[in-house]
Amino acid sequence: MFKDAFEHVLTKTKENIERFDTLFPHVGDGTSYKAIENRDWTNGFWSGILWLCYEYSKNPEYLEAAKTSTESFVRRLEQNIVLDHHDIGFLYSLSTKADWIVTKNENARKVTLQAADVLLKRWRSNGEYIQAWGTERNEVEGGRIIIDCLMNLPLLYWAYEQTGDQKYKYVADAQAEKTRRYLVRGDFSSYHTFHFNQLTGEPIGGSTHQGFTNGSTWSRGQAWGIYGFALLYRQTGNVYYQKLSIEMTNYFLLNMPEDQVAYWDFDAPLTKLSYRDSSASAIAVSGMLELVSTMNSNHPEQSRIKDSAYQIITSLVKNYSTAGIPTAHGLLQHGSYHVRGNLVPDGHVIWGDYFYTEALVRILKGIPGYWYERD
């Protein structure tokens, strides 16, 4: 089943190489993706899919497309098109860092280190956190951190490992602890965002941006926590992060519907029209597979979490894949971007496709993606 599912990934990706050329699939209602230039926070996911398809198949067509896509990230950095956000890790871990990991392209390594320096510019020393969005001292966004940033920290840990420069590790460690303390609640649910006084660093309170309410649990944010803390355990050796990933996994699993694919928010009222977010489940599966890969074979949670991850990916393959829908651009149906903002509440989202691809490649070939160097 999983091998057949990945053959669909390869076929659809080859079609999209021809369809999008030098543009990037982003999000889309119905069966189509909107094609955009390399200026958004989501663009790295397409590059990551191309690199994974090449690693799986060794087909030079995917390598050529991955190289072409990655070269645009080099130009993007040269032109300073990085926007006022923290998602440099999503952009460069899955493009230039992937290039370095797969081909040992020295220029790709150099550019990835430059990208890590760009992320450091979002460090706010007053409160010791990485500001998620907007310019420094922005009245609305100044002082905000978000749980998604956990997935950008691997870029900083990688830069520390490559250079030995403690500044990267210091910032990553501090952001990890801020996230642990302020974005994870006592029951191991999570806030999407948290605010600090940007002048004093004093904590103000949790809020949401894409979830149902400030006090609800946005399922994709919970999935970022599962994966992010699993990666933190690998990169720091702090066993508490592994335990935190386990507990956030437990919360996610306890709130899953019968078909094992999450609704967009765990606390939103359920109706016949309630939106799913297949991307949240794809991220959670990838995070759970990373989590079990960090466990010893005798760890009491390994088998249970692995079985749960396989149940979710099986449901994605059987019930949410676009196999059999030839007009579809994406790999998964029923991803949600921003439900409250009515921005693609039910359609294709490129990050869902990436993490679905990553999970399948890990299952089939043991390839973990591009968040860290491989042994």
87 is catalytic: yes
CB 289 within 8 A of CB 305: no
> CA end-to-end span of the chain, whole Å?
28
Query: Which residue in the list 21, 84, 148, 267 is annotated as catalytic?
Result: 148
Give the closest residue to 99 by CA, choosing from 71, 57, 80. 71
Q: Kindly state the helix (H) or strand (E) to which residue 347 belongs, with its residue range.
A: strand 347-349
Residue in the block written with tokens 């994966």: 227
346 is catalytic: no
Query: Which residue in the list 4, 40, 84, 87 is annotated as catalytic?
Result: 87
CB 241 within 8 A of CB 233: yes
Collect contacts of 156-163 with beta carbons under 8 A, ≥24 apart: 156/89, 156/116, 156/119, 156/120, 157/235, 157/236, 157/372, 158/93, 158/97, 158/112, 158/116, 158/372, 158/373, 159/112, 159/113, 159/116, 159/117, 161/373, 162/109, 162/113, 163/113
Catalytic site residues?
A: 87, 148
